[in-house]
Amino acid sequence: MDEKYLVGLDGSDCGERAVSAALTQARISGASVVLCYVIPWSPFTFSTAEENALRHKRREDELARASELLLTPEQKRFEASGIACEIVARHGHPAKTLAQLAREHEVSMIIVGVLGDTPLKSRFLGGTASTLIQISPCPVLVVP
């Protein structure tokens, strides 16, 4: 199996450090990279009939915007360094979605930033990173 890394982006400084770590590791190992941005989304939110009618369009717009503003610029950065790179934007629970993508893309490692989703969790280890470590099908590199 060729080396392939899944990198979770979130637009934060910590996420940028994870991207830089992935770029360094991919240069060393010759791995390809899958960059992913997960937009948290709950299927259990209450919506009015009008909101439900617009929900699908809003989801598609959010995914397109994430690809355009976050993923595509980073993809160009990897490709300029000679690293094969694909991008994925999804809605869902961040850790569960990253673990699922790791299985789908048969990656050898997931790289994420440590930034937490709540102030208390982020003091120790980010909520997404902590959950991902527990459910991931492969090793997880957590970048401070």
Residue 133 has pLDDT above 90, yes or no: yes
Question: What three-state secondary structure class fits 45?
Answer: coil
> What residues make up the domain containing 106?
4-143
- CA 67-35-123 angle, 5° bins: 105
Q: How confident is the model at residue 9 (pLDDT cuts 50, 70, 90)?
A: very high
Half-sphere exposure of 106 (CA within 13 A, CB side): 3
Q: Is 91 exposed, middle or buried (0-12, 13-18, 19+ CB in 10 A)?
A: middle
pTM: 0.86
Q: What is the pLDDT of residue 56?
A: 77
Residue pLDDT, tens place only, 29-57: 999 999 999 998 766 666 777 777 788 78
Q: What is the pLDDT of residue 127?
A: 84
Calculate mean pLDDT across residues 59-81.
Answer: 94
Residue with tokens 């934007």: 89
CATH number, position 61: 3.40.50.620
Q: How confident is the model at residue 1 (pLDDT cuts 50, 70, 90)?
A: low
Domain count, the chain: 1
Calculate mean pLDDT across residues 63-77.
Answer: 95
